[in-house]
C-alpha cells in the first residue's frame, strides 16, 4: 500500500531508503547584496513564509488558539504583529488569511506552524513563492517613492500592505525605523530587484 499523502505523516513516519541524488537550493537572487551609500539591500534567504487561512465558522476558536500558541492577538488589517517570543512575525494578508514569517529550521516550515496551532487553520508553505528583500537605511523612502504607490512617510512600524510596483505584486512590511522587508513573486524576482536598484540609482549618486 502506498502511504498517506499527508506530508506530515511522511516526515513523522520517516523513510526507509533514500535516493542517491541530492538537490541543492538555488534561489534566483541568492547572495545578492548591495550598498547604496549607507543604504543596504539584502536578499533574505533563510526566512520561511507560511500562510494560514482561518476556517470559516470557527474564527473565534482560531483566534483563541492563535493567542494561546503565539502569545499575541491576530494582526489587524494592514498590520503585522510579532509573536510574544518574537520568533514569528505575522502579516495580515486578507480578511481570512495571515502569513507567518520565521527563521527556517527544516524542510517543512508548515510543520513548524502546525505544531503550534494544531489542526486549526489551513496551512500552506509559501516560502518559495516569494523573494524577500530587506532594505535598511535613511534614503529608502526617497528611492521607493519612485515605484511604490503607498505613502511610505506614513507607514510606521507594524504596518504592512500588499500593492503593485512596476507591474509587480509586492508586499511591504515596516520592520524597523529605517528598515523595510519587501516580498515579490519569486519567478519575477529579477525584475523586482532591478526596479529597486534603479530607484536608488535614479535618486542618488551611488
**What would the grid cell of residue 139 be?**
534614503
Cα 128 to Cα 15: distance, rounded to the nearest angstrom: 24
Whichever of 71 and 77 has its CB closer to other proteins, that residue is: 77
Q: Is 162 exposed, middle or buried (0-12, 13-18, 19+ CB in 10 A)?
A: middle
Min separation Cβ 144 and other proteins, Å = 9
Min separation Cβ 76 and other proteins, Å = 9
Whichever of 21 and 85 has its CB closer to other proteins, that residue is: 21
Closest CA to 181 of 202, 154, 160: 160
Whichever of 63 and 169 has its CB closer to other proteins, that residue is: 169
Min separation Cβ 133 and other proteins, Å = 15
Cα 162 to Cα 150: distance, rounded to the nearest angstrom: 9
Whichever of 67 and 190 has its CB closer to other proteins, that residue is: 190
Min separation Cβ 170 and other proteins, Å = 8
Amino acid at each position: 500500500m502506498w502511504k498517506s499523502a499527508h506530508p506530515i505523516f511522511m516526515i513523522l513516519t520517516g523513510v526507509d531508503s533514500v535516493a542517491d541524488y541530492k538537490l541543492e537550493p538555488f534561489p534566483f537572487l541568492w547572495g545578492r547584496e548591495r550598498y547604496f551609500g549607507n543604504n543596504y539591500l539584502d536578499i533574505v534567504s533563510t526566512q520561511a513564509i507560511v500562510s494560514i487561512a482561518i476556517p470559516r465558522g470557527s474564527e473565534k476558536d482560531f483566534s483563541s488558539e492563535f493567542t494561546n500558541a503565539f502569545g499575541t492577538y491576530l494582526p489587524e488589517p494592514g498590520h503585522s504583529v510579532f509573536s510574544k517570543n518574537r520568533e514569528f512575525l505575522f502579516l495580515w494578508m486578507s480578511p481570512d488569511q495571515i502569513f507567518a514569517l520565521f527563521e527556517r529550521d527544516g524542510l517543512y516550515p508548515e510543520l513548524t506552524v502546525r505544531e503550534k496551532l494544531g489542526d486549526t487553520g489551513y496551512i500552506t508553505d509559501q516560502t518559495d513563492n516569494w523573494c524577500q528583500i530587506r532594505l535598511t537605511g535613511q534614503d529608502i523612502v526617497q528611492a521607493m517613492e519612485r515605484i511604490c504607490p503607498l505613502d511610505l512617510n506614513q507607514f510606521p512600524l507594524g504596518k504592512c500592505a500588499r500593492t503593485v510596483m512596476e507591474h509587480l505584486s509586492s508586499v511591504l512590511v515596516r520592520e524597523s525605523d529605517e528598515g523595510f522587508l519587501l516580498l515579490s513573486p519569486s519567478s519575477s524576482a529579477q525584475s523586482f530587484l532591478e526596479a529597486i536598484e534603479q530607484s536608488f540609482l535614479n535618486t542618488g549618486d551611488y
